[in-house]
């Protein structure tokens, strides 16, 4: 246990370890490296780069939420999200090309979207939620359907490459982005970019679904590799080698 500001309720409390994504979404025993971006950037050959950071076991996550908020997510959003992750794993297995249209059945997109935004809040520093109270409100109130057009969420299938956890950081071609890529999905949160991001599937509209778990819908998904810790970089190994 450690103390700090809970990302969701913004109170100074004891923080518990929050699995991001949830344990039940294939994040129980993930082994991963924590590699400072600077260290990575100095490496000569990116693809053969062997991180020196320590190996973490027992799942990816952060000490970022208090016990109460942790429990709140579990009670409200984790099950619909885990169900969505199961679909993602089967989609990766059955993908015939880099872009496929899937029929998704018996899901609650409204709650899945809330969990995705909760993960972005939890992986960022407390100031991020403070500066975006609308995102906090959207997650903290399970019934709230309002989320302004400023906030866009995108998804793709992530079947190859590294885990990517880009906190709200710099800007890139699309303005400011935050990215979480963890098999089977990658997500982008993009704020104040009204041009959209090509070749990703926007799911911000899931806020308009009724809060029920029996929705069936079609969704087109790109299947992208994430070999480098650079947000919105989906080059294959071959493409990376050509450019270096
Ligand atoms: Zn809290």
Please give the chain's pLDDT, 244 residues, in tens.
689 999 999 999 999 998 999 999 999 877 665 555 566 666 666 666 665 555 667 788 889 999 999 999 999 999 999 999 999 999 999 999 999 999 999 999 999 999 999 999 999 999 999 999 999 999 999 999 999 999 999 999 999 998 888 887 656 678 789 999 999 999 999 999 989 999 999 999 999 999 999 999 999 999 999 998 888 999 999 998 876 5
CA of 51 to the centre of ligand 1 (A): 33
CA distance linking residue 23 with residue 28, whole number of Å? 5
CA of 62 to the centre of ligand 1 (A): 13
| CA 242 and chain centroid, separation | 29
Residue 48 has which token pair?
């053969």
Residue 171 pLDDT = 63
CA of 164 to the centre of ligand 1 (A): 25
CA of 147 to the centre of ligand 1 (A): 21
CA of 52 to the centre of ligand 1 (A): 33
pTM here is 0.92
CA of 81 to the centre of ligand 1 (A): 20
CA of 194 to the centre of ligand 1 (A): 32
Residue 167 pLDDT = 85
Q: Where are the domains of the chain?
A: 2-242
Residue 170 pLDDT = 58
Residue 34 pLDDT = 55
Q: How far is CA 236 from CA 160, 218, 220, 224, 226, in A?
A: 9, 27, 20, 8, 8
CA of 68 to the centre of ligand 1 (A): 6
Residue 31 pLDDT = 67
CA of 86 to the centre of ligand 1 (A): 28
CA of 67 to the centre of ligand 1 (A): 7
CA of 165 to the centre of ligand 1 (A): 22
């Amino acid at each position: 246990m450690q103390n700090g500001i809970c990302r969701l309720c913004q109170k100074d409390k004891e923080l518990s370890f929050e699995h991001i994504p949830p344990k039940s979404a294939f994040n129980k025993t993930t082994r991963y490296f924590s590699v400072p971006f600077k260290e990575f950037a100095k490496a000569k050959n990116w693809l053969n780069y062997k991180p020196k950071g320590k190996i973490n076991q027992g799942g990816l996550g952060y000490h970022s939420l208090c016990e109460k908020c942790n429990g709140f997510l579990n009670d409200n959003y984790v099950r619909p999200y885990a169900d969505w992750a199961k679909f993602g794993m089967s989609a990766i297995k059955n993908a015939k090309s880099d872009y496929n249209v899937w029929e998704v059945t018996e899901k609650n997109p409204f709650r899945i979207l809330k969990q995705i935004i909760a993960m972005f809040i939890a992986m960022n520093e407390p100031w991020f939620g403070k500066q975006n109270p609308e995102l906090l409100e959207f997650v903290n109130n399970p019934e709230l359907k309002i989320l302004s057009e400023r906030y866009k969420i995108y998804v793709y299938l992530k079947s190859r490459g590294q885990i990517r956890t880009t906190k709200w950081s710099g800007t890139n071609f699309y303005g400011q982005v935050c990215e979480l890529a963890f098999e089977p999905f990658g997500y982008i949160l993009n704020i104040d970019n009204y041009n959209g991001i090509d070749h990703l599937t926007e799911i911000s509209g899931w806020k308009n679904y009724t809060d029920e778990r029996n929705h069936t819908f079609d969704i087109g998904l790109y299947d992208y590799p994430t070999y480098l810790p650079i947000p919105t970089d989906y080059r294959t190994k071959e493409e990376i080698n050509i450019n270096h």
